[in-house]
Amino acid sequence: MATQKQPIYTDDAPVLRPGVYTPAIVANGFVFVSGVLGADPVTKEMVPGTVIDRFHQIMKNLSAVLKQAGSNIESTVDVTVFLDNIDNADVLSAPYLTYWGDVKPART
């Protein structure tokens, strides 16, 4: 039996390469989200400022995609974080923890 897949799009999160990927897909009750960047949804430019400023924009974009899919940040079970500078791992730990409830998602 074929899996039903529902593509998810929202104007509240940027798609930087339209036609190349879907921001998210709902399948079998799960939401699969593509990589999310710290870009402004309107200008599609990376937000200015620090790595923390970009991180908060990433979380806004992620929240918008999840909301459009009928989900939310608190339902997240797995997160993969890509850093261009490993020194930012410590810098991002405190703001990262503010987005999750008592049960943190698995993280790579």
Q: Say what percent of the chain tops pLDDT 70.
A: 99
Sign of the C-alpha dihedral computed for residues 36, 83, 87 and 93 taken in this order: positive
pTM for the full predicted model: 0.92
| 8 A C-beta contact, residue 57 and residue 42 | no
Beta bridge partners of 5: 27
Q: What is the pLDDT of residues 11-51, one digit of tens each?
A: 999 998 888 999 999 999 999 999 999 999 999 999 999 99
pLDDT (0 to 100) of residue 3: 80
Tell me the residue range of the domain where 103 lies.
5-107
pLDDT higher than 90, residue 7:
yes
Count of domains observed in the chain = 1
Residue 51 maps to which CATH number?
Answer: 3.30.1330.40
Cβ within 8 Å of residue 69, ≥6 positions away: 8, 24, 26, 31
